[in-house]
Chain A
Amino acid sequence: MPLPRFGRFTLPRPTLPAVALVVLSLLVGAAASDPLAVRRRAQPPSPGTVRSSGGTLPTAATVAAIDRLLAERRSVAGVEAAAVADNLTILRRLWLALAGTIPSLEEIRSFEADGAPGAVDRALATLLADRRSAEALARRLASPLVGDEKGEFIVFRRDRFTTWLADQIAANRPWDQTVREMVSARGLWTDTPAVNFITQAAANGVIDADKLAGRVSRVFLGARLDCAQCHDHPFAAWKQGEFEGLAASFAQAKLSPVGVEDDPARVHRIDRTSVAALATAMTGAGRNVPPRVPFGAEWLGSGGTHRENLAAWVIHTDNRRFDRAIANRMWSILFGKAWHEPVDDIPDPGPTSSPDDLLDLLADDFREHGRDLRRLIGVIAATEAFRFASTHPDLESAEGAARVKAAWGAFPLTRLTPEQMIGAMAATTSLQTIERDSHVLTRTIRFFRETDFLREYGQVVDSQGGSLPATIPQALVQMNGKLAREMVEANVVTATGRIAGMAHDDVARLEVAFLVALTRRPASEERELLLPLLTLAETKGRGLEDVMWTLFNCPEFSWNH
């Protein structure tokens, strides 16, 4: 008899539609009689550091320096700046990056009700102060931090780790402190969640020091030092010995009944059966390797465990790689594309910080302001480049598109992650924002729907280097899948049904459908082309189903723009 599976829930599926109906009915009830009406949400106080408009605010100098650098880059490439995107488009980008979904109709109405200058900045501040963004960011960061594998359930709890990380982000804990805890934590994976960073590397019952060294170098230093595990790095200065020395810092870590511990008696031994030795004959057999860092040995901590000493080195304020790595990572979360691809293998910093290096500008600002992730996000989101339209006259030709892309002359098109995709579909269905606190059952349903959806949709792995075209099975899921059908269907609980029943005419219905799915209103030609779907249909519900299906399946829905 197989052992019970812990990694997968097996709640009875048939009850789900019933539960969904109840929950969604509650949602409808809560939505008052007119779901399309403007409702103001209480605005949490905006953290001053993330506001960007006006010359006197704290981030303005850094933002201006970045804008200047990018303007020069465009000028050298002979690329004009794209027009500024409209506010709703920017709102959609912010929601996708920071909440993993698109703004609901409720959010859009609330945003539009704030017609004053700086509305985007206020929306950003509200979003950053929201627990949802902490959770979405934690899920994005968990992928590079602990990988996408399931891992060994006995010692690795992804959910604990992600929740802990979300707590740190929600509390706006300085990033270096969070990282220090991950690298050096001791204890049980269940009650010291940071330790899952270490136990994720457990394979066949032991902690794989090589894997941890690789992860630390890629995520915290932006260097694929693990290429040097088997051979010297192909284009950077890393040597195999340097990788071994880094791995040796994790050799004391071991699994025990009380969790991860550091045993001072343990040493890092390279022998014939190690991964490195397996792949190459270059490594000598049976050597003990002491901890060693590839540069900046004076930054190492002293007196602690090897891991504590290493953590001090990683986050040392002179270790510019640390700040550049997270700057590049955040850029990639906001733009869908890293400043340097691949996101975890970026060029070495110059000898001193340079105003001509975008990552230096971001990294210096980050370091000088308490390694505040929210501020970093605020700076990136306030740049001109982030607010450019994704349209550009030069995009008509292949050659022009390459130039625009290289000079960041327009906002890049990148495909939504599966999580963003399902988040966007869910947001489109409910009219209101699905939140953590008030709708536990909705979240449960979303979990099952996500599980089903992801099973068929497959994973798109962030770390593989940017946006890949969709696959045929993905196109089929989007067109013909169960989730798509449930979401498009016009009934009393879906947005489709409610818009069909409540908006006063077809033009208004079409407008709301566009807002809900694409966060914009239809252009007049689009209105003309799509209105027949509503007028030709047997019922308003059928017609609106066709409209929603079309919106779900168009490239604008599944590509961030």
Chain B
Amino acid sequence: MPTRLRIPVGPRYEGFASAPTGRRSVLLAAASLGLSFALPALPARAARRRGVERPRSLLVVWLAGGPSQLETFDPHPGAAAGGPTQDISTAVPGVRIAADYPRLAEVLDRFALVRSLVSKEGDHERGQYAVKTGYRPDPTAIHPALGAIAAHELPATGLELPRFIALGEAEFPSRGGYLGNELDPYRVFAPGQKGQNLEPHVQADRQARRLGALDSLTRSFETGRGEAVRRTFHEHTLREALTLMTSEQLAAFDLDGESEAVKGLYGDSDFGRGCLVARRLIEAGVRSVEITLPGFDTHARNFAGHTSQARLLDPALAALVGDLEDRDLLESTVVLVMGEFGRTPSINPLDGRDHWPHGFSCLLGGAGIAAGQVIGSTDPEGVAKQPTDPVEIPDLSATVLAALGIDFAREVATLVGRPMKLSAGTPLAKLLRGEA
């Protein structure tokens, strides 16, 4: 490492003395200690552990814009709400999904399918917040996304990569919220390439001179401000960034080692590459990965729009699940596939469907999930607004956290000292293996 920056030790984790209650400093200290920088080198076996022995990870496939349940996982062909969408049988006897998803149909038994999600939010920004965090938007606090909670709560020994990585373009990025900015995801906008901003602009000799000078200036700024400067964690963060820049684990972002056959299975698209990178990141021990597929906001030409989305989603998602399973990683990875809401049973004059936060669908599979079942149903005629067996968003968030083995009801102190539960919901026993 061409740097003379010093490694921060003990006292700097004491946090910010300004905290009126002390909770903030405790939280910051805890969060900082969890950062990879402070940990010993990667024990070789940690990332290689497989099956249920492996620490769990969360993989969120985010279908941005509000995917139509009727054109994906809850089709009603021939009924008033159905539109022209046809359906096909799946690996789960008696369960049919949209005909645009033939490959997913083959592996649907790896998932539980919830067809009765209900949310209170029908606006994209508010809807994604509600679904990603399990809480409705609240002006006094920013709640962490499930991905941030997973990254915060699950062990990541030896990991040099960021613990929470978001792939693809997300209009409303997930946030670390009150868990801290360091739980914001590391965002990779063009999956398949190494993450952005990881290469220094200059050759090693100049970089070394720059870092040496930076060390001098940091020392000089510390003069007369010692503790105040140490509490900025400036140098600590910089050092972590430098560690990441040279980490061998960055190879997880690189698809050169994958065969053409494997790449072909996922599909030649940013989303397909993203799913393949997601698998590699999970394999490398990243605790939380989110991959976004935008383009589901079909207020016009809903059916054509959803068919083209399916061409991206169907192969990639089926390949991802198969790949995780083949590598014995599915048992330790919770996979959640959903968007901010569904779309109306009625079809508007533009041949589109509008926002519909009542009775929309998600797939939930992998670690701890009782797969191969369907929960809830919607009215094929589109008359009844409420689905049967409605599942509230907070309960879904509690279920995901419970499947990850996280104490979902644990209270965490926010930065201003207000305690918040990680989830305000109750897990659905029938979705959890061994709980039904």
A224 at the interface (CB under 8 A from B): yes
Contacts of A273 on B, CB cut-off 8 Å? 120
Q: Which B-chain residue is minimally distant from A474 (CB atoms)?
A: B237
Min distance, Cβ A247 to any Cβ of chain B, angstroms: 13
CA distance A31 to B173 in the complex (A): 41
Q: By the criterion CB–CB under 8 Å, are A211 and B197 in contact?
A: no
- Contacts A456-B197, A473-B184; A203 near B126 (Cβ below 8 A): yes
A468 at the interface (CB under 8 A from B): yes
Q: By the criterion CB–CB under 8 Å, are B199 and A278 in contact?
A: no
- Contacts A203-B123, A226-B140; A395 near B225 (Cβ below 8 A): yes
**Which of B11, B187, B234 gathers the greatest number of chain A CB atoms within 10 Å?**
B234
Partner of B11, one of A341, A342, A398, A469: A398
Q: By the criterion CB–CB under 8 Å, are B182 and A471 in contact?
A: yes
Q: Which A-chain residue is minimally distant from B297 (CB atoms)?
A: A2
Q: By the criterion CB–CB under 8 Å, are B227 and A401 in contact?
A: yes
Q: By the criterion CB–CB under 8 Å, are B200 and A468 in contact?
A: no
Q: C-beta contact mask, B154-197 vs A, less than 8 Å → 1, else 0?
A: 00000000100000000111000010111010110100000011
B389 at the interface (CB under 8 A from A): no
Q: By the criterion CB–CB under 8 Å, are A391 and B223 in contact?
A: yes
Contacts of B40 on A, CB cut-off 8 Å? none
Contacts of A556 on B, CB cut-off 8 Å? 217, 221
Q: By the criterion CB–CB under 8 Å, are A554 and B214 in contact?
A: yes
CA distance A412 to B231 in the complex (A): 12
Q: Which B-chain residue is minimally distant from A394 (CB atoms)?
A: B227
Q: Which B-chain residue is minimally distant from A414 (CB atoms)?
A: B232
Q: Which A-chain residue is minimally distant from B216 (CB atoms)?
A: A529
B142 at the interface (CB under 8 A from A): yes
Contacts of B424 on A, CB cut-off 8 Å? 279
Contacts of B121 on A, CB cut-off 8 Å? 203-204
CA distance A1 to B295 in the complex (A): 8
**Which of B180, B217, B295, B424 gathers the greatest number of chain A CB atoms within 10 Å?**
B217
Contacts of A550 on B, CB cut-off 8 Å? 210, 213-214, 217
Q: By the criterion CB–CB under 8 Å, are B224 and A395 in contact?
A: yes
CA distance A276 to B226 in the complex (A): 47
Q: By the criterion CB–CB under 8 Å, are A468 and B209 in contact?
A: no
Q: C-beta contact mask, B192-220 vs A, less than 8 Å → 1, else 0?
A: 00001111111000100110011011101
A39 at the interface (CB under 8 A from B): no
Residues 511-532 of A contacting B (Cβ, < 8 Å) = 523, 525-526, 529-530, 532
A322 at the interface (CB under 8 A from B): no
Contacts of A302 on B, CB cut-off 8 Å? none
CA distance A149 to B416 in the complex (A): 20
B14 at the interface (CB under 8 A from A): yes
Q: C-beta contact mask, B229-261 vs A, less than 8 Å → 1, else 0?
A: 101111111101100110000000000000000
CA distance A350 to B249 in the complex (A): 58
Q: By the criterion CB–CB under 8 Å, are B214 and A471 in contact?
A: no
Residues 323-354 of A contacting B (Cβ, < 8 Å) = 337, 341-342, 345
Min distance, Cβ A300 to any Cβ of chain B, angstroms: 24
Residues 106-135 of B contacting A (Cβ, < 8 Å) = 120-123, 125-126
Min distance, Cβ B413 to any Cβ of chain A, angstroms: 12
Q: By the criterion CB–CB under 8 Å, are B227 and A398 in contact?
A: yes
B305 at the interface (CB under 8 A from A): yes
Min distance, Cβ B342 to any Cβ of chain A, angstroms: 15
Cβ-Cβ contact count across A and B, 8 Å cutoff: 227
Contacts of B24 on A, CB cut-off 8 Å? 465
Partner of B220, one of A149, A460, A467, A523: A523
CA distance A559 to B237 in the complex (A): 14
CA distance A156 to B87 in the complex (A): 40
Q: Which B-chain residue is minimally distant from A279 (CB atoms)?
A: B424
A19 at the interface (CB under 8 A from B): no
Q: By the criterion CB–CB under 8 Å, are B213 and A395 in contact?
A: no
Min distance, Cβ B198 to any Cβ of chain A, angstroms: 7
- Contacts A2-B298, A400-B227, A464-B142; A546 near B213 (Cβ below 8 A): yes
Q: By the criterion CB–CB under 8 Å, are A530 and B139 in contact?
A: no
A40 at the interface (CB under 8 A from B): no
Residues 204-249 of A contacting B (Cβ, < 8 Å) = 204, 211, 214-215, 218, 224, 226-227, 234
B20 at the interface (CB under 8 A from A): yes
Among listed A61-69, A108-116, A479-487, interface-contacting one:
A479-487
- Contacts A401-B17, A469-B237, A475-B241; A529 near B213 (Cβ below 8 A): yes
- Contacts A479-B241, A529-B213, A555-B229; A398 near B180 (Cβ below 8 A): no
Q: By the criterion CB–CB under 8 Å, are A479 and B200 in contact?
A: yes
Contacts of B227 on A, CB cut-off 8 Å? 395-398, 400-401
Q: By the criterion CB–CB under 8 Å, are B299 and A2 in contact?
A: yes
A89 at the interface (CB under 8 A from B): no
**Which of A234, A396, A547 gathers the greatest number of chain B CB atoms within 10 Å?**
A396
Residues 10-42 of B contacting A (Cβ, < 8 Å) = 11, 14, 16-18, 20, 24, 28, 32
Partner of A461, one of B142, B297, B304: B142
CA distance A8 to B169 in the complex (A): 13
**Which of A392, A413, A473, A550 gathers the greatest number of chain B CB atoms within 10 Å?**
A473
Q: By the criterion CB–CB under 8 Å, are A415 and B206 in contact?
A: no
Contacts of B415 on A, CB cut-off 8 Å? 464-466, 468
Q: By the criterion CB–CB under 8 Å, are A458 and B181 in contact?
A: yes
Min distance, Cβ B247 to any Cβ of chain A, angstroms: 11
CA distance A313 to B371 in the complex (A): 58
A261 at the interface (CB under 8 A from B): no
Min distance, Cβ A228 to any Cβ of chain B, angstroms: 11
- Contacts A456-B197, A471-B182, A530-B216; A3 near B299 (Cβ below 8 A): yes
Q: By the criterion CB–CB under 8 Å, are A345 and B416 in contact?
A: yes
A147 at the interface (CB under 8 A from B): yes
B301 at the interface (CB under 8 A from A): yes
Q: By the criterion CB–CB under 8 Å, are B210 and A470 in contact?
A: no
B65 at the interface (CB under 8 A from A): yes
Contacts of B221 on A, CB cut-off 8 Å? 554-556, 561
Contacts of B196 on A, CB cut-off 8 Å? 456, 476, 481
Q: By the criterion CB–CB under 8 Å, are B224 and A475 in contact?
A: no
Q: Which B-chain residue is minimally distant from A234 (CB atoms)?
A: B418
Partner of A470, one of B214, B233, B416: B233
A84 at the interface (CB under 8 A from B): no
Q: By the criterion CB–CB under 8 Å, are A469 and B233 in contact?
A: yes
Q: By the criterion CB–CB under 8 Å, are A471 and B181 in contact?
A: yes
Contacts of B245 on A, CB cut-off 8 Å? 476, 480
Partner of A488, one of B16, B32, B201, B244: B201
Q: Which A-chain residue is minimally distant from B351 (CB atoms)?
A: A1
Contacts of B80 on A, CB cut-off 8 Å? none
Contacts of B181 on A, CB cut-off 8 Å? 458, 460, 468-471
Q: By the criterion CB–CB under 8 Å, are B186 and A473 in contact?
A: yes
Contacts of B136 on A, CB cut-off 8 Å? 275, 278
CA distance A467 to B233 in the complex (A): 11
CA distance A529 to B4 in the complex (A): 14
A139 at the interface (CB under 8 A from B): no
Residues 383-417 of A contacting B (Cβ, < 8 Å) = 389-393, 395-398, 400-402, 405-406, 410, 412-413, 415
Contacts of B189 on A, CB cut-off 8 Å? 455
Q: By the criterion CB–CB under 8 Å, are A278 and B197 in contact?
A: no
Contacts of B139 on A, CB cut-off 8 Å? 147, 211, 214-215, 218, 226
Q: Which B-chain residue is minimally distant from A204 (CB atoms)?
A: B122
Q: By the criterion CB–CB under 8 Å, are A533 and B213 in contact?
A: yes
Q: By the criterion CB–CB under 8 Å, are A214 and B210 in contact?
A: no
Partner of B214, one of A214, A391, A553: A553
Q: Could you write out 29 A-B pairs with CB less than 8 Å apart?
A: A2-B65, A2-B295, A3-B297, A203-B126, A214-B140, A218-B140, A224-B140, A227-B418, A345-B416, A391-B225, A396-B226, A397-B227, A410-B228, A458-B173, A461-B142, A468-B180, A469-B236, A472-B182, A472-B241, A473-B162, A476-B244, A480-B199, A480-B200, A481-B196, A526-B220, A530-B217, A533-B209, A546-B202, A547-B213
The 8 closest A-B pairs by CB, nearest first: A391-B224, A402-B17, A469-B233, A401-B227, A475-B241, A555-B234, A476-B197, A554-B217
